[in-house]
Amino acid sequence: AQSVTQLDSQVPVFEEAPVELRCNYSSSVSVYLFWYVQYPNQGLQLLLKYLSGSTLVKGINGFEAEFNKSQTSFHLRKPSVHISDTAEYFCAVSVSRHGSSNTGKLIFGQGTTLQVKP
């Protein structure tokens, strides 16, 4: 079964510092990968996605993620964070099986809380 592991439940970081939120997945078939963000008291918002092509994906708010097939990882990065980036971040995987349709059903990680301090 597919699974997603977010290695850090909480990541504290000072404002303007770089940050990396780690995500590893388990799957023996090709995958589509997503990062979602949930700001306090708000719904989930799509940050970025990898479907195919370039392994470096750029998203909203200056975030980017790199798909690494050999390491089965999809880590999220930002070179300089702001207070407003404080939120919970979820990594998710959707599995595509050769020869059959993909439902788009996502398996989510447990989430990483990014706490940006002044």
Partner 1 sequence: GAGVSQSPSNKVTEKGKDVELRCDPISGHTALYWYRQSLGQGLEFLIYFQGNSAPDKSGLPSDRFSAERTGGSVSTLTIQRTQQEDSAVYLCASSLQPNYGYTFGSGTRLTVV
Q: How far apart are CB 92 and partner 1 at their closest, in Å?
A: 8
User: 79-108: which residues touch partner 1 (CB under 8 A)?
Assistant: 90, 92, 94, 96, 101-108
Q: Which of 15, 44, 72, 77 binds partner 1 (CB under 8 A)?
A: 44
Q: Which of 17, 46, 56, 83 binds partner 1 (CB under 8 A)?
A: 46
Residue with Cβ nearer partner 1 (17 or 51) = 51
| 43 near partner 1, judged by CB under 8 A | yes
User: 14-33: which residues touch partner 1 (CB under 8 A)?
Assistant: 32
The CA distance from 32 to 25, in Å, is 11
Residue with Cβ nearer partner 1 (82 or 105) = 105
What are the two backbone dihedrals, phi and then psi, of residue 40, each rounded to the nearest 5 degrees? Answer: -50, 130
Counting residues that bind partner 1 (by CB under 8 A) gives 25
The strand ranges marked E within the chain are: 3-6, 10-14, 19-21, 23-26, 31-38, 44-50, 56-58, 64-68, 73-78, 87-95, 107-108, 112-117
The CA distance from 118 to 110, in Å, is 26
